[in-house]
């Protein structure tokens, strides 16, 4: 049997440490930045829009996205902002960071926002804004897998 028309695509998967677990697979569009984020000052708490002057994703909205950034920065009040975003339905679907820090962790936990950390920094080279990731828990760690955007769009349009 000839398979000349068969295209094999290597799956792109990042392993991460679970900070705040979730019950089932999460699939969503990515919002990613190489900048550290302070939820107090960089995020409009009333809209979920990123407003920090030094952010390369300024003007974009984190609501319902898989938000990936190196680590949080800034005031401890940032955890309250993150909690408020969750309470008002404006939180990201999932937060992913390379380094753990207490402000983002406490905001995610209090807000019930799924979160992972210890993502390899290669994520910034391989994943772009608008890509679609599927996040699932496998034992004591999480996997973030890049998936086809067309599959995600078909599923989200049918629900």
- Name the residues annotated as catalytic: 75
CA–CA distance, 74 with 30 (Å, rounded to integer): 23
Picking from 154, 145, 128, the residue whose alpha carbon sits closest to that of residue 26 is 145
Task: Provide Rg for the chain, Cα atoms.
Answer: 16
Neighbours of 142 (CB within 10 A): 26
In this structure, what token pair is assigned to residue 29?
Answer: 């569009």
Pairing assessment for the beta strands 141-147 and 132-138 based on DSSP bridges: antiparallel
Three-class secondary structure of residue 143 per DSSP: strand
Burial class, 7, CB count within 10 angstroms (exposed 0-12 / middle 13-18 / buried 19+)? exposed
CA–CA distance, 30 with 68 (Å, rounded to integer): 7
């Amino acid at each position: 049997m000839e398979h000349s028309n068969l295209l094999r695509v290597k799956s792109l998967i990042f392993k991460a440490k679970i900070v705040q677990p979730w019950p089932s697979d999460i699939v969503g569009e990515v919002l990613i930045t190489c900048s550290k984020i302070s939820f107090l000052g960089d995020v409009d708490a009333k809209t979920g829009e990123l407003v920090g002057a030094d952010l390369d994703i300024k003007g974009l909205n984190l609501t319902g996205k898989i938000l990936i950034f190196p680590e949080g920065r800034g005031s401890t009040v940032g955890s309250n902002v993150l909690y408020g975003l969750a309470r008002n339905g404006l939180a990201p679907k999932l937060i992913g960071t390379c380094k753990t820090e207490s402000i983002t962790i406490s905001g995610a936990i209090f807000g019930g926002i799924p979160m992972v950390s210890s993502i390899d920094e290669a994520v910034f080279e391989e994943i772009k804004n608008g890509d679609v990731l599927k996040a699932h828990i496998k034992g004591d760690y999480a996997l973030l897998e890049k998936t086809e955007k067309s599959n995600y769009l078909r599923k989200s349009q049918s629900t």
